[in-house]
Amino acid sequence: MDLLDAHLVPAVDGVAFGLLLFVVAAGLSLAFGTAGVLNLSHGMLYAIGAYTGAALSDGTWGGLALGLAAGTAAACAAGAGLSAATAPLARRGHLAQALLTFGLALVGGDLLIQLFGADELPVRVPEALDSSVRLLGHRYPAYRLCFIVMAVLLAAFGTWVLTRTRMGAAVRAAADDPQMLATTGHSPRAVHTGVLAAAGALAGAAGVLGAPIIGPGPGTSENVLMLSLVVVVLGGLRSLWATLAAAVAVGEVQTLGVSLVPDLAPYLLFAAMAAVLVLRSRFAEPAAAHGPEGPPPDPVARLRRHLAARLRRRPGAAVAATAGDSAGSSALLRASSRREGAGYPSISLPFSLPRPRGAARRAAPLLVLLAVLAALPWVLDAYTLSLAGSALALGLLAVSVTVLTGYAGLPTLGQTAPFAVGAYATANLAQAGWTMGPVQIALSALAAALFSALTGPAVIRARGTTVLMITLAVGELTGAVVNRLKSVTGGADGLVGFPATQALWGGEGMFEESELYTFALVVAAVAVAVTLLVLRSPAGKLLTGTRGAEARMRASGHPVGRYLLVAHICAGALAGVGGSLMVTVQQYLSPADVGFEIAAFALLAAVIGGTTSVIGALMGAGLIVVTRDWVAGSWPGHGPLLLGVLFVAAVYLLPRGLAGLRGGSARSGPEPGLPRPGEQHPPAPDPTPAGPAGKVSP
């Protein structure tokens, strides 16, 4: 009884926190599940609401009502804007849309800071609620109780709209089959806009009402986005009830968990998430895991169908759509990356026969790049040279993302996790006195590979955008562990002041920037060369085949899961090498070096490069470092804004990445013949003639 007594307040807090997360996550889930947009700026929509609400709050009911109206309207408008921005990318797949929304989140975050300042805004709740009530002998803030009621009402209203109204039916139909919806006279485009605007409104309303709970500040967007992503991953898009349960569970972990087991709380979320992901993949239907025909249906489409089927089964919910072509949009990612590689004389294509001249021609850009990089120590000053060294480390991370995204077909936002493992392994080795560079690199790669072997099973079962979400969660929770595990990682302060690395046994420690840079260049060159050799060997074709026609590969006896796991482990080792290099070059390490932004940069670098081009990924990483540290140096404080603009520009202007620029005139060549998502099946032959009856008689 004492236990219950002591933890009542955090438990009720958990419910309030969970309901807040539910309202936010419902918007995210709506945008993702029905409009197909993985909205990485959803946290920013919340922040818009929270800032607006806080700025208008003056301790009266009127202030709250005004804030609610203004905040909801602002976030709703922002959501509609997002819809307009992502609509042209609908054919390009989830990855491009996710990157675009991330870029917009960076830009929006910067603008919010310009408008409202970099400090947390104080929030004044209405005076009537600014007191506490007695709750089973405890004092409890009245506002939170009131918030619980309001959140329940909001959730009930949303559910009612979605399941009981004609508008909700149209939304669900759009999720299922936009073309079918179009034939019934609704515009899928309007539904798309409506869904994103509604998701924005939900986030905005949650922001205004939740501002006293998760206050508006520079870190709000990311915090809210991560927690709601965790909720969506745990809840699994299957039903609103599952999302609600997941949200309350996450809320309780964040409040009751902290009060019950303060030491373990940071890991509880990670443990719960890992358990759910592993269990779900273990009990996934075999049909779902294998894919019945042709391109394997991605789990998102499956979930969407499942969601639609589930909703359809409810009494009174009439839906005009049939389950069907929703796999179309889900194949986008796969198909878009397929289109990028096919038929171009780009260096990234594995060819069937090794032709020496072709090989030389394909290696030429890499050799030129290597020559330029090798010449840098004579050209650049010390600071810029150290930036170039960081760019090499980030480049290895980007190459590792390319291997997973472009070759294995697993778009990842979580390669910072093995990157972090490698980085902290090197830092700790150096502190323990192991300063030999090659040993540091090898052990870091090993540690990162082991880590990837552990996380791999949760990643490789999923496909498409679900991989993005799972890897994002893995990366983010690794970041949380990094922040808490102070004895190993130094916590938020990071690690600094460890002995310098020696390039070889018996050599001196390296202090000069040019030495460090040369060491990084040699290591990176070897790592990239090994990666390229493996990717161009028949092993690379196994990965290409797995990405291109997984069902065929399985039916031909290939253990596809094993290939993907090996690819995941190798990519992890590569990221680990990158992390180790970063520590060696920078001579310090902070959690920001392995954070979510770095993960997004690495993915952007891979996408800038064209997702199947190793050299493109390296150049993309260089471009990002130049933008972040060099250009932004002349306009301090606006690094995120510049990077956001870079994201947006890259997504719109480089649909094929830098590799596409090389294609030039060839671009228009093979593409029309290639299957496009949604119309992969050649329309002419109908394999199922309607009336075979006449032919039956022998």
Residues numbered 276-295 forming contacts with other proteins, rule: CB under 8 A: 285-287, 290-295
Identify whether the C-beta of residue 46 lies closer than 8 Å to the C-beta of residue 206.
yes
| C-beta of 74 vs 319, nearer to other proteins | 319
Q: Which two tokens stand for residue 648?
A: 């947006």
Residue 137 makes contact with other proteins by CB under 8 A: no
Within 549-568, which residues bind other proteins (CB under 8 A)? 549, 551-560
Q: What is the 3-state secondary structure (H, E, C) of 314-349?
A: CCCCCCCCCCCCCHHHHCHHHHHHHHHHCCCCCCCC
Least Cβ distance, residue 660 to other proteins (angstroms):
15
Least Cβ distance, residue 319 to other proteins (angstroms):
7
Q: Which two tokens stand for residue 591?
A: 């959690």
Residue 685 makes contact with other proteins by CB under 8 A: yes
Within 486-545, which residues bind other proteins (CB under 8 A)? 537-539, 541-542, 544-545
| C-beta of 134 vs 695, nearer to other proteins | 695
Q: Which of 40, 248, 250, 272 is nearest to 148 (CA)?
A: 248
Within 331-370, which residues bind other proteins (CB under 8 A)? 331, 338, 341-343, 349-354
Least Cβ distance, residue 164 to other proteins (angstroms):
18
- 581 Cβ partners below 8 Å, 6+ apart? 389, 392, 393, 396, 441, 520, 523, 524
Within 58-117, which residues bind other proteins (CB under 8 A)? none
Within 581-610, which residues bind other proteins (CB under 8 A)? none
Least Cβ distance, residue 312 to other proteins (angstroms):
8
Least Cβ distance, residue 391 to other proteins (angstroms):
30
Beta bridge partners of 588: 496
Within 160-179, which residues bind other proteins (CB under 8 A)? none
Within 205-244, which residues bind other proteins (CB under 8 A)? none
Least Cβ distance, residue 289 to other proteins (angstroms):
10
Rounded Cα distance between 497 and 507, Å, is 19
Residue 678 makes contact with other proteins by CB under 8 A: yes
Residue 674 makes contact with other proteins by CB under 8 A: yes
Tell me the one-letter amino acid at 110.
D
Site size toward other proteins (CB under 8 A) is: 77
| C-beta of 330 vs 426, nearer to other proteins | 330
Q: Is 134 exposed, middle or buried (0-12, 13-18, 19+ CB in 10 A)?
A: exposed
| C-beta of 416 vs 465, nearer to other proteins | 465
Q: Tokens 């986008």 sit at which residue?
A: 332
Distances (CA, A) of 376 to 385, 618, 631: 7, 15, 18
Rounded Cα distance between 155 and 458, Å, is 31
| C-beta of 177 vs 476, nearer to other proteins | 177
| C-beta of 341 vs 389, nearer to other proteins | 341
Within 307-336, which residues bind other proteins (CB under 8 A)? 309, 319-331
Least Cβ distance, residue 252 to other proteins (angstroms):
33
| C-beta of 354 vs 506, nearer to other proteins | 354
Q: Which of 172, 220, 194, 218 is nearest to 20 (CA)?
A: 220
Least Cβ distance, residue 42 to other proteins (angstroms):
26
Helix axes of 2-35 and 188-210: crossing angle, nearest 10 degrees: 160
Least Cβ distance, residue 310 to other proteins (angstroms):
10
Rounded Cα distance between 551 and 609, Å, is 28
Q: Is 12 exposed, middle or buried (0-12, 13-18, 19+ CB in 10 A)?
A: buried
Q: What sign results for the dihedral spanned by CA atoms 315, 319, 320, 322?
A: negative
| C-beta of 265 vs 323, nearer to other proteins | 323
Rounded Cα distance between 350 and 570, Å, is 18
